[in-house]
């Protein structure tokens, strides 16, 4: 039997041992994903805890149609996007402060000498919409394939592809502060597949 299936069954019975085993197996990835989506380690730690508590509450609703890990990542992404949206509404902007983006608490001392380009990219990433940030994080940082992203975000593969292209275009635009289609001779928009 798939170890994740066993974990899901234990969680559905609200067994603390199953929750611990799930944390051992998936905790790092969940926490890392939260950190990459939210940008600040304190927020990410709080969100990751919330993910596991929700998992404990709602594991009985896991129907097995998706892989357990996909379901867990979907729960994580949705929770983080919800928090980003709440933050955006609260402070009237779409992102945490750009200066707060590169979180010294998120890295050991040995990493403090990271490059300016890296910090700039992290700041730019935080200026994207939650939707664009999520898809770039899943692809570029988590290394998910288009099919895996599609399953996680419950989107068609075609939408994943076009949204990724737009997210990258937006990032390039922010980096260069120029319209992404400025010099495009045939700017016909392609409707997003549904």
Burial (CB count within 10 angstroms: exposed 0-12, middle 13-18, buried 19+), residue 53? exposed
What is the rounded distance in angstroms from the CA atom of residue 128 to the CA atom of residue 125? 6
CB of 3 to another protein, least distance (A): 18
The CB density around residue 5, as the number of other CB atoms within 10 Å, is 13
Among candidate residues 108, 22, 109, the one with its CA nearest the CA of residue 72:
22
CB of 15 to another protein, least distance (A): 9
Name the DSSP class of 143. -
CB of 45 to another protein, least distance (A): 6
Name the DSSP class of 2. -
Nearer to another protein, 89 or 100 (CB): 100
Nearer to another protein, 16 or 91 (CB): 16
CB of 110 to another protein, least distance (A): 10
Nearer to another protein, 92 or 185 (CB): 185
DSSP characters for 5-61?
A: HHHHHHHHTT-HHHHHHHHHHHHHHHHHHHHHHH--HHHHHHHHHHHHHHHHHHGGG
Name the DSSP class of 140. I
Nearer to another protein, 9 or 85 (CB): 9
Nearer to another protein, 54 or 85 (CB): 54
CB of 92 to another protein, least distance (A): 27
CB of 28 to another protein, least distance (A): 6
CB 48 within 8 A of CB 90: no
Residues of this chain that bind another protein (CB under 8 A):
14, 16, 19-20, 23, 27-28, 31-32, 35, 41, 45, 48-49, 52-53, 56-58, 106-108, 111, 114-115, 117-118, 120-122, 125, 136, 139-141, 143, 145-146, 157-158, 160-162, 164-165, 168-169, 171-172, 175-176, 180-190
Number of continuous H segments (helices) and E segments (strands) in the chain: 8, 0
Nearer to another protein, 53 or 91 (CB): 53
């Amino acid at each position: 039997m798939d170890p994740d299936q066993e974990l899901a069954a234990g969680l559905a019975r609200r067994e603390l041992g199953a929750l611990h085993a799930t944390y051992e197996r998936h905790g790092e990835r969940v926490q890392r994903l939260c950190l990459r989506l939210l940008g600040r380690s304190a927020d990410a730690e709080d969100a990751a805890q919330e993910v596991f508590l929700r998992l404990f509450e709602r594991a009985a609703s896991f129907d097995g149609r998706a892989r357990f890990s996909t379901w867990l990542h979907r729960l994580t992404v949705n929770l983080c996007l919800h928090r980003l949206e709440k933050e955006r509404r609260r402070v009237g902007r779409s992102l945490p402060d750009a200066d707060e983006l590169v979180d010294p608490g998120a890295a050991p001392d040995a990493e403090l000498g990271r490059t300016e380009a890296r910090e700039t990219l992290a700041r730019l990433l935080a200026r994207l919409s939650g939707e664009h940030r999520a898809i770039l994080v899943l692809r570029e940082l988590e290394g998910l394939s288009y099919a895996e992203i599609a399953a996680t975000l419950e989107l068609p593969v075609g939408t994943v592809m076009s949204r990724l292209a737009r997210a990258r275009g937006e990032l390039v635009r922010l980096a260069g502060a120029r319209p992404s289609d400025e010099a495009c001779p045939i700017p016909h928009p392609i409707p997003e597949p549904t």
